[in-house]
């Protein structure tokens, strides 16, 4: 992987994400893993699947990388998100961040995952023994122009 932004149906590689951001002037590197859980509110989740609006999702992920790198000078950020079925305990998202010092690394990593959950057009479906449901992030839409049509 050489790109700062990846959307793929294949398993994600921590080493690849790390390699994209690490450089000789970096003194800290973090790779955040968002992984899939086997339960939701007491119900067993058998499988999770993700779908995206690909062009827009990549553009939004790229905008988050650019925004983080502007806000924390010297920081490098890479984001990879998996689509399709993601088996339990595997990574659905990886966020790699390197920086000269650790403080900015933690801050930029937190910013990137929080903003991704708010703005990147990707959806998650949980499959249970007795059905399935699309699960929304609490952060969905935060900071975006929006909130369309409310319930009547």
Give yes or no for residue 36 binding another protein (CB under 8 A). no
Q: How far is the CB of 110 from another protein (least distance, A)?
A: 12
Total chain residues near another protein (CB under 8 A): 38
Q: Which of 16, 74, 113, 127 binds another protein (CB under 8 A)?
A: 113
Give yes or no for residue 47 binding another protein (CB under 8 A). no
Q: Which is nearer to another protein, 39 or 135 (CB)?
A: 135
SS3 per-residue string spanning the chain: CCCCEEEECCCCCHHHHHHHHCCCCCCEEEEEEEECCCEECCEEEEEEEEEECHHHHHHHHHHHHHHHHHHCCCCEEEEEEECEEECCCCEEEEEEEEECCHHHHHHHHHHHHHHHHHHCCEEEEEEECCEEEEECCCCCCCCCCCCCCCCC
Q: How far is the CB of 134 from another protein (least distance, A)?
A: 5
Q: Provide the binding-site residues for another protein, judged by CB under 8 A.
A: 34, 50-53, 55-57, 59, 81, 92-93, 113, 116-125, 134-137, 140-141, 144-152
């Amino acid at each position: 992987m050489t790109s700062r932004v990846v959307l793929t149906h294949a398993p994600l590689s921590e080493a690849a994400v790390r390699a994209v951001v690490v450089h000789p002037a970096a003194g800290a590197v973090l790779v955040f893993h968002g992984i899939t859980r086997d339960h939701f509110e007491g119900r067993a989740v058998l499988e999770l699947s993700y779908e995206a609006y690909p062009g827009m999702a990549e553009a939004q992920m790229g905008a988050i990388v650019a925004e983080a790198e502007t806000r924390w000078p010297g920081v490098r950020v890479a984001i990879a998100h998996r689509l399709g079925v993601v088996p339990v305990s595997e990574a659905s998202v990886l966020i790699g961040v390197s920086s000269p010092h650790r403080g900015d690394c933690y801050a930029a990593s937190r910013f990137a995952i929080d903003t991704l959950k708010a703005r990147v057009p990707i959806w998650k479906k949980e499959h249970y023994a007795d059905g399935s449901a699309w699960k929304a992030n609490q952060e969905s839409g935060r900071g975006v122009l929006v909130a369309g049509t409310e319930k009547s």
